[in-house]
Every structure is written in C-alpha cells, then in structure tokens.
Structure 1
C-alpha cells in the first residue's frame, strides 16, 4: 500500500506589503531676488522716464507761472516763482484786446488751417490708404513708394518749392497758400494702409460686393467706420503738425490778418527784442500758454480713440 501524497495548497501565499513611507512635504520655493543688472535696468528706465516727464512739463510749468506775473516780476523774479491769479486774469484780458483783438483773429486762422485742414487731410489719407490696401490697379506699389518718399522729405525743404508754385498760381499771401499744402499728408496715407490691413477683413468686403455694394459704398458704409480709430490717430498727427507749423506761413504770408498764432507770437517776440517793446514779451508768453490749451484739449477728448489706434496690429 503506497503512501498518499499531501494535497497541494489551493492558493499561493500573498507577498508581504511593503512598509509605508512618509509622504515628503513640498519644499517652499524661495523667491528669486532680482539680479543687480535687473535692478540697474529698472532704475535706469525709471530715471529716463522721470527726465522725460520733467523735460515735458517744465516749459508748461514755466509758461503757467510766468503768465501770472506782471512785466516787472517777469524779469525780476525766478522763472518758477509763484505769481498772482488776479494778474493772470488781467494778462488774459490784455492779450485778447491788444492791437484790436488781433490774437483772436490769429487763433481763428489757426483753427481753420489746422482743424478743417487736418479733417480733410485725414479723410483723403484714409481713402488713399484703403485703396492701396484693398484695391488692385496698375503701378500700385510704385506709386506707394513715391508716397513713402514723401514721408522722408522734411516739410521745411518743401517750403520754397511750394512758394514758387503758389506764386505761379497767384496764391501767395492768401488763405489758400497755407491751407492747401496741409491737405497732403503722406505719413497719414502710410498709416491708413496699415490700419486698413489690420481693421478691415477682406471677407467682409467680399460679402458686401456680393450683396451689390459698389466700392465707394463699401468704403463709406463698412470700411470707414472700422477705420475710425485710425482716422482719429491720423487727424491728431496732422492737426498737431499744422498747428505747430511756422516756416511755411512765414514764407507765404505778409498780411498779419492771415497769420496763424505761432507766426503772430513770433512777431510780438521780435518786436519786444528788436523794437524795444517789452510789453510784447509778456503778450508772447501769455499767448503761448493759450495756444497750447487747444492741443491739450483735443488730445484729452480723443485720447480713447488715439490709444486704440496706436496699438492696432500689436496683437494678431
């Protein structure tokens, strides 16, 4: 009788579980201290911005404080010394009544030259930039190269040729001799083409053409409202340029009733220095302060559109 074998175990023994380990705690990250080069660059940028702010505000501060002084205090005290508010009112009244109120005439001329001229120039520039971007016609790129060439030529270099052309047309010493050149703004055409490429989708224009809209109607009803920020930006550039224009009116005009405000202030300043009229010096100072006010007001009113226009195309 053979011995019976022991039965095999039904299940194998399970392996022993590994001992539990403590969960490591996250090590807090230390904030990186800025390197000396980063501190120097930040300090340098802040210093440059501070210098730019002082450079911008110092002349305006001097104008404001000098306008609150009498003629004797203007030359006998520090330029940044405080004056009197009552004296400012008297100086403004004297400014608006001097020489039969000619200063108000100069301001009205400048508003016509800069306001109406910049408005029309902006319309022409936006239309031309839209055409260069969206329309196809022979010689487009060569013609646009001529526009860019006009951007690089300074306005003072064109004053004498413009005077000769105005003399041939009989426009010297007239309103149109200063107003007409302001209608041409090559830099505005370049900006308008950039704005058109960024703001006006080609698909929208194609849909308008399929609906039966012509090119002029598509520009006026669809493209132009989209280009409103660019239009305001171009208007501000041209408005500032015409408002600050000096050499072209100096060459074109000899009638004081047609002077812009910058040329009129130069006449008063020259009179104070060369002809011994020190009261005209105070008129030039107060008049310069008043002449800056419209520029500041226009920029503040159109600041929202101008900022959006300057950032066009920054993010794709």
Structure 2
C-alpha cells in the first residue's frame, strides 16, 4: 500500500503543481495586464483568501463535494488544488516584474490576441515565477492532510500523508508498525528534495524577481 500511496501523492501534487500553477499564473497575469470592472474588488477577495487557513475551508468543500457526489473520488482532491490565492498574488507580482507592457502592445500591433500574447510572450517571460508557484503548490499538495482525510475513505485513493497517519494509529497497539512509520516518513520527503534540487535554478531566480533593478 505504501507504493500506492506514494503514487497517489505524486499524482495529486503534480496535477496541482502543473495545472493549479498555470491557473494561478493566468489569473495573476490578467489582474496585472487587463482592466475590467471590479478588478480591485476581485483581487481584494483573493487577498482575503490568502489569509484564510486551508483547514478552515475543508468542511465547506466537503459539503460542496457531497452535493455534487464526488466525495471518495480523486476529483474531491484534484479540483480544490486548482485554486491557490497565494499563487495568484505571486503571479501578479511576477507579471509586473517580468512582462513589460510595451512588449504586449507590440504584439497587439502585430495582430496577436490576448490568449496568443499570453502563451507566446507572457508565459515564457514568467517561467521562473511559474516554476516557483508550481513548486510551492507541489509541496503544499504533497503535505496536505486534512482535505484527503475528510474527502476520501477508500485506502486505494489515499495520499502518503494520510496513509502514514493510519500506520501511526496502528503502532500504538501493534509496535511492529513503528519501523514502517519511521521509514515511510523518511521516504516520503525524497520527492520533495528531488523537486527542489531539479528546479532550484528556476525558483531561485523567481524568488529574487524585482530585488535588483
């Protein structure tokens, strides 16, 4: 079961990092470059979302998932990780630092629409920011405990964080589970270390964005 839990965690975290990070970058880019009615109010709601801890949203999300009948499915975990208010905030900062308005104006003069300008110019320029946001999202989803604990009952769908917690509960009456808990906890941080090592050149440049003119 441990290998299955590790695979589940990898899938949930990778999905959240790639697609959740992309949605955050697109939203941050839109808040920075576009003018629309209620822009400041919507961004204020995003900032309020940054202040709300994830554990406070688990019960409302469970009630919503129950209404749509997706509890105890992978969608109960995948859909919530697509929304990351802190990632949207960071993406707006990166967009302001990395994407000059003059470049987008030149693209519009050449006939590029908003979507093409983003994918051809904005996203490549914001790549360090995207990788940084994706890495934060990967770590956050990998360490997520409350959401899958509440949403999932099938052990085949559990991430490694919840699985090791179950083993820890077994270790009290059955001490032979203690080595499994210790070894599993050690192995569970290996993907995080690999992610930081492989992406360090991107997230280091992303974290220093705007610090030097």
TM class by shorter chain equals: over 0.9
Superposed, 1:199-214 pairs within 5 Å as 199-214=98-113
Aligned to 2:120: 221
Corresponding residue of 1:172:
71
Where does residue 125 of structure 1 map in the other structure? Answer: 24
Q: Which is helix-richer, 1 or 2?
A: 2
Query: How far apart are the structure 2 equivalents of 1:228 and 1:145?
Result: 25
Structure 1 residue 300, shift from structure 2 partner: 0.4
2:97 matched to which residue of 1?
198
Greater relative contact order (CA < 8 Å, ≥ 6 in sequence): 2
1:279 is displaced (CA, Å) by 1.6
2:171 aligned with 1:280: no
Aligned to 1:271: 170
Find the partner of 1:238 among 134, 137, 143.
137
Deviation at 1:226, TM superposition (A): 0.3
- Per-residue CA deviations over 1:41-87 (Å, capped at 9, x if unaligned) read xxxxxxxxxxxxxxxxxxxxxxxxxxxxxxxxxxxxxxxxxxxxxxx
Q: Distance in 1 between matches of 2:140 and 2:57?
A: 15
Instruction: Let me know the Cα RMSD of the aligned residues.
Output: 0.7
Out of 11, 24, 37, which is 1:112 matched to? Answer: 11
Q: TM-score, length-normalised on structure 1?
A: 0.67
Answering whether residue 158 of structure 2 is matched by residue 300 of structure 1, we say no
- Residue deviations 1:85-123 (CA, integer Å, cap 9, x gap): xxxxxxxxxxxxxxxxx1111011101111112210010
SS of 1:173's partner is: coil
CA distance in 1, matches of 2:120, 2:149: 41
The alpha-carbon deviation at position 216 of structure 1 amounts to: 0.4
* 1:310 aligned to which of 194, 207, 211: 207
- Mapped to 2, the partners of 1:299 and 1:221 lie a distance apart of 27
Q: Counterpart of 2:62?
A: 163
Residue 253 (structure 1) aligns with: 152
Distance 1:192 1:279 in 2: 47
The total of aligned residue pairs comes to 213
Offset at 1:259?
0.5
Distance 2:176 2:18 in 1: 36
1:22 aligned partner: none
Q: CA deviation at 1:243?
A: 0.2
Runs of 4+ in structure 1 deviating by more than 4 angstroms, as ranges, are: none
TM-score, reference length from structure 2: 0.99
Q: Distance in 1 between matches of 2:28 and 2:35?
A: 12
How far apart, CA to CA, are the structure 2 residues paired with 1:251 and 1:259?
11
